[in-house]
Amino acid sequence: MAADGNSNAFKPKPTHLPFRPFFLLAAVDAVVGAGGWLPAAFGIQAFGATAISAGDWHRDLLLFGMVPAVLTGFLLTALPRWTGRQAVPPHTTCSLIVLWGCSRLAFLVLLPSLGLACSAIWILALLLIAARAVIASRDRRNLKILLLLAFFCGSNVLVAVSWQAEIALRLALASIIGLVIIIGGRVVPALTVAYVESAGGQVALRRSAAREYTAALLTMCAFCLWVVAPEAQLSGVACALAAFSQAIRAAQWRGWLSLSSSTVLGLHIGYGWVIVGFASLASHILAPAMLGQATAIHAWTIGAIGTMTLAIMASMIRKHSRLAFVPSASATGALAAMTTCCLSRLLIEVLPGYAAPLASFSGTLWIVSFGLFLMAYRGALLGFGVK
């Protein structure tokens, strides 16, 4: 990871930690997004004559609501350490919260397209804040984060105006999974080492630069091909190679050393779902009769995004609470519920006759997972217990 710096000048003041409000808002968005869709899983039409289906409403609220909230909280807190710049002032955080509120109000009460437009403005504001810090510090290492944020913002705009929506949604998902890969590549091995050392052990992770660059190149090619030509055979081959290269990359982090820490193990499991997503996508493209595309999409959206979101938020909260590896039954339950949620959704492909109960069970577990997360960290998110 980038240098944290030895000076407290680069650390956010304890009274202003940007992750607090945004992680809280992200968890609320996660519950509302799944809760609004859940009646449809039981065959109940909860949206009346609205122009958007329950599935689209659920997808857009989570992809362009929950995910940007997590990114905002994480990046506003982490970028000052990564770049050596001053923390963002409180009024900047407040302005972004207002944009979130406008987006949610427009999405829930007025028009979904207006809500998506407000979300695009919010993501653009985050991009500009991040760009200012990265460019001012001449931090080339984080330019790829800016690029993926720009792609994500652009995809949000395209979905809002309903132009090339299918391509835009694939671009949005590829951008988010790309960010998961980049951030996970920094956080997962670092926390694995920290956990082993906190337990009195020693570990040296041998990370090959050649493997890192190869995985990055193959993954970038797979994403580009899938976004443009999702059913092309070449895209399937590229996804298979990306899955293989990411598996080799993740194996370097020695996740089995963190079996007794649910938070660190959750990071490894979340990253593992990235690999499963690529492998499932390759299987679907190369052998369509074997597996549907929905399996890969949900391996990424529920497995990778859901699990990594919970684990990264928990890790950041614990770090600032000075309780990095203290066990928490609620936090462990949240990660277990998310894993079961993803497995339940993927079983629909194997047991299509049980699609309705499996989908409703999966949706319920998603809500339970984020409910347990809020239960575990409500004090820290509301400003109590963060030292």
What are the pLDDT digits (tens) for 325-341? Answer: 777 899 899 999 999 99
pLDDT tens digits, 212-229: 999 999 999 999 999 999
The answer to whether 38 touches 368, Cβ cutoff 8 Å, is: no
Q: pLDDT tens for residues 223-280?
A: 999 999 999 999 999 999 999 999 999 999 988 888 778 888 999 999 999 999 999 9
- For a pLDDT cut of 90, what percent of the chain falls above it? 53
CA dist list (Å): 41 to 45, 47, 287, 291, 352: 9, 13, 28, 22, 14
The pLDDT assigned to 40 comes to: 63
Q: What is the pLDDT of residues 87-111, one digit of tens each?
A: 888 888 999 999 998 888 887 776 7
pLDDT, residue 9, reads 39
What percentage of the chain carries pLDDT values higher than 70?
Answer: 90
Do 130 and 171 lie in a common domain?
A: no
Residues 117 and 183 in one domain: no
Mean model confidence pLDDT for the chain: 86
Q: Band the pLDDT of 200: cuts 50, 70, 90.
A: confident
In angstroms, the CA 332 to CA 336 distance is: 6
Which residue among 146, 163, 180 closes a domain? 163
Measure the CA–CA gap between 331 and 33, rounded to whole angstroms.
21
pLDDT digits (tens, 9 = 90+) for 15-65: 568 899 999 999 998 988 887 776 665 656 554 444 567 777 778 888 898
| Average pLDDT of the segment spanning 139-151 | 92
Domain closes at, from 163, 195, 215: 163
**Residue 355: partners with Cβ closer than 8 Å, 6 or more residues away:** 348
Q: What is the mean pLDDT of residues 148-177?
A: 92
Domain count, the chain: 2
Same domain, 152 and 217: no
179 plus 233 within the same structural domain: yes
C-beta of residue 36 within 8 angstroms of C-beta of residue 58:
yes
Does the residue 309 lie in any domain?
A: yes
Count of CB atoms situated within 10 Å of the CB of 222: 26
For residue 14, what pLDDT is reported?
46
Q: Are residues 137 and 216 in the same domain?
A: no
Q: Quick one: pLDDT at residue 45?
A: 55
Question: Does a structural domain hold residue 99?
Answer: yes
Pair (254, 374) in one structural domain? yes
For residue 2, being part of any structural domain is answered with no
Answer yes or no: do 332 and 352 share one domain.
Answer: yes
Q: What's the 3-state SS for 293-320?
A: HHHHHHHHHHHHHHHHHHHHHHHHHHHH
- The answer to whether residue 141 is domain-embedded is yes
Tell me the residue range of the domain where 72 lies: 8-163
Question: Rounded distance, CA 142 to CA 138, Å?
Answer: 9
pLDDT at 198 over 70: yes
Q: Confidence class of residue 12 from pLDDT cuts 50, 70 and 90?
A: very low
Average pLDDT over residues 69-76: 94
Same domain, yes or no: 85 and 58:
yes
Prediction pTM value:
0.89
Q: Give which of 239, 228, 234, 233 is closest to 166, Cα–Cα.
A: 228
* 371 located within any domain: yes
> What pLDDT digit, counting tens, does each position of 303-326 carry?
999 999 999 999 999 888 777 677
The answer, yes or no, to whether residue 373 has pLDDT greater than 90, is yes
Q: What is the pLDDT of residue 346?
A: 92
